[in-house]
A and B are shown apart, each in its own frame.
Chain A
Amino acid sequence: MKSPVVEVCNVQKVYGKKGGNQFKALNDVSFSMQEGEFVGIMGPSGSGKTTLLNVISTLDQVTSGEIKIDNVDITDMGQDELSDFRSQKLGFIFQDFNLLENMTIAENIALPLYLQGTPAKNVDAKVMTVAKRLGIEELLQKYPAEISGGQKQRSAAARALVHEPTVILGDEPTGALDSKNATSLLETMKDLNDRQNVSIMMVTHDAYSASYCQRIIFIQDGKLHKEIHRSSTRELFYKEILDVLAQLGTKNA
């Protein structure tokens, strides 16, 4: 029996002051994610998918409800605890890579380890292992400005993985990549998920990227709209996703 790594319970997120012009970005959202799952979150612009990712990644706080990651409730933690939690349990991949341009790739990847106080002698080995896994061991001594977008995103993925987090959160990780690089990154993520049992949650609006997931949660207007599981090939799943998106579109219209 797999245990849930992320549990979202009746989460609400309201922007704006009480009595003023309020906007419910998330309205009573609940779902859970098991260890080793590859979950996609989809929805049209303004549906609340980024807000959902932000509250799960502890960058934003919920108005009400509960979020547990690795059985720890993150909704009543202080800022410092949250920082530590992020640095230990979560790995991030952002759309615009967010590598530090003033550090080499190796230093970028090693950063989460340094933050946890890993002894310097262990760091190099760990960086090398994860770099090999992502096929970027040749780039370690380069600076972000010297490598391509696809390579940058792989480096960012390596940084997200190096400290073996409970879950990796991706915010449109393929958004800034061309199709070839995007496919390559998605294959890698899938591979990590299949073989290393890494739990991944990814926000995307691109059906092709989403088709690599095992399960997709659709949200619209801050509410869970639908959930679909992949049962057969990726191609069929892709069509299924497009159907749901079409549905969402017509409902909107």
Chain B
Amino acid sequence: MLLKLSLAGMKGKLKDYFVLLSGLVMTISVFYMFQTLSWNTEFIKSNAMIRNIQLVFIVGSVLLSVVTIMYMLYTNTFLLSLRQKEFGMYMMLGAKKKSIKKIMFVETMVIGAASLVIGITVGIGLAFIVGYLLAGQLNITLEGYQSFYLPAVLATFVFFIVVFLFTALINHIKLSRVQVLQLIYSDVHPDEMPIQKKKNSWLILLGLITLCLGYVSLIFMEQLREIGLFAAPTFTTLGTYLLFIGYLPVIVRRIQANKRWTTKGVTSFTFAQLNFRIQGLTKILATVAMLIALGAGAISAGLAFKNSASQMAEMMNVYDVVIKNPNAEEKAILKSVHFTEENQYRFKEDADYTYYLRDDLDNQRPLLLLSDGKKPKFKRVTEALPKGKISLREVKNPEVGQQLSDEWARALWNLQTNYREIKQTIVLDAETYHKIQGQEMLMYIGKSDKFMDYLHEWQEIDMLVLEKEPNLTADDLTSKYSFYNMYSSFTSGTMFMGLFLGIAFLAMMASCLMFKIVSGASKDTSRYQMLRKIGVRRSQLSTSVYKELFIIFLFPAIIGLTHVLIGMNMFSFIILNPYYRIWVPIIIFLIIYSLYYVITVKLYKQIVLPKE
């Protein structure tokens, strides 16, 4: 009978249960998504460019578990708060505490089981969709990746069953201690006092120190190696939590104390409200900042790996194409490309030598790559070519040879199209050149304005080269594209993991923040109602909500992104420039985050500002 009653009670709060369930489902599915990669060691080992990728996943698992447990404890308090009053009433009517506890236990486990089943199903679906979409977008095949992965299912199952049992136990203990009257009046709160903690100077100091340590280990990851891999996440996480707990309330209080900002219209309320709530939000905001750092960091790393392929290619070759005797088909393709520089050099060759015409080289001096290991720089060849009449006999003599300047030697080396037939190059004056027997040929080199825009064209040209010279294989080619292609096939696996995990972490972050704000909203309702009564326009209240939540959303975004910006350093030993186009992932993140912000504001407003 009591069970029936309690089911009826649950029906009445369907909306709250929906919030609760969706929060749980999100957490479980993200956890599962992470596990599909984490347990699939074969896949990550064979696809990662990072030697210690296993360690990255272990650290990630620990972080995710901590965040999940914190989140679950919070949802559990919410679950209990939903039912307290009703349970109090049953007890007043004579229900035994034992049966109430039983109901609560069953309810926790039923909700847990339901969310586990739905969560894993959603997780499998998400893992499949995200995997499929990413593979399609990135043009890669994922060998060994499984969206339904049994070890991951089991791991998720075991982890959450333990967590649910643990939370059920906590509810059990809480209910054992509580009095009937406390339950009945659970939704009547005495006026709360805004906590006026003294400045936690030592907390802030400790937070700063640990955060600095974390940042130092991120920056010097290459030197610290394994130590850094453990120190960076530990110290950064600890520092983030300490700073949020110690410093955030101080900042908000400072803002509130600034009378110039906070005494216009309803802003005085907005900041009072913010100051009031911030104490309870510090931990969740720190968690959100960490999830942002992990999510945006993973996406940035993924994209950085993707970008690094083109950068690596830029570092290898100046010219996008080098073609020996372009034929009609090749010329047609070349026409469709916008080149910033095109040079053609006449040459002849025999079995051992390639003879270049000096005038052509002199008139169209090629570019050279000057690399500082970070960014490609170009320099035009300025050194002199061998002067006067060149004696063929002399330069062919292995004792004497042709003394080309460094720059020219390198420039001529760059005119190779493959590794197979490397011949000695000789520069000749026109007269001597024309005496050489053999057919005159053309070496074409071209540099476009954007290598990445013409990937398809470069690919076709490479294929035509292979058709022309059947004894060559793709591995023999020295073209910029062939290098790019090889490198990006190495990076695609890493990139996939980065984007996959990034999406998972961002989803989790949103769910955390939204749940915390929306589930606490009903307590704020009376305040907004009162303001409405004394004559605050609805639009003003709406602005107040936007402002308040904006500031709440702002802090973790700032800290999270700072973590990302500093954390990207740790990839500098494997990626040329981890910061290359860092704004792309940041903008992607900001768009997603703003979307969450707007949705949260809408949900919150629905609760505190009911329609009139």
Contacts and interface: CB of A to CB of B under 8 A. Distances in A.
A100 B535 contact: no
Contacts of B9: none
Interface in A92-120: 92, 94, 98-103, 107, 110-112, 114-115, 117, 120
A102 B538 contact: no
Contacts of A101: 191-194, 276, 527
A80 B527 contact: no
Contact of B535 (A94, A103, A112, A146): A112
B536 interface: yes
Interface in B395-447: none
Interface residues of B, number: 33
Interface in B572-612: 612
B534 interface: yes
Interface stretch (A83-91, A201-209, A212-220): A83-91
Contacts of B34: none
A103 B537 CA distance: 19
A120 B268 CA distance: 11
Contact of B272 (A84, A103, A117, A146): A103
Contacts of A94: 530, 533
Contacts of A90: 535
Size bracket of the A interface: 20 to 34
Contacts of B526: 98
Interface string B262-301: 0111111100110111000000000000000000000000
B191 A145 contact: yes
A100 B259 contact: no
Interface string B231-273: 0000000000000000000000000000110011111110011
A218 B585 CA distance: 69
B171 to A, nearest CB: 28
Contacts of A92: 533-534
Contact of A100 (B260, B263, B530, B539): B530
A185 interface: no
B426 to A, nearest CB: 86
B373 interface: no
A111 B269 contact: yes
A61 to B, nearest CB: 10
The 6 closest A-B pairs by CB, nearest first: A87-B535, A86-B535, A102-B276, A145-B191, A145-B193, A83-B537
Interface of B: 190-194, 259-260, 263-269, 272-273, 275-277, 526-527, 530-540, 612
27 contacts: A59-B533, A79-B538, A80-B539, A83-B532, A84-B535, A84-B537, A86-B535, A92-B533, A92-B534, A94-B533, A98-B526, A101-B191, A101-B192, A102-B192, A102-B194, A102-B269, A102-B276, A111-B269, A111-B534, A112-B535, A114-B268, A115-B265, A120-B259, A120-B263, A143-B191, A143-B194, A145-B190
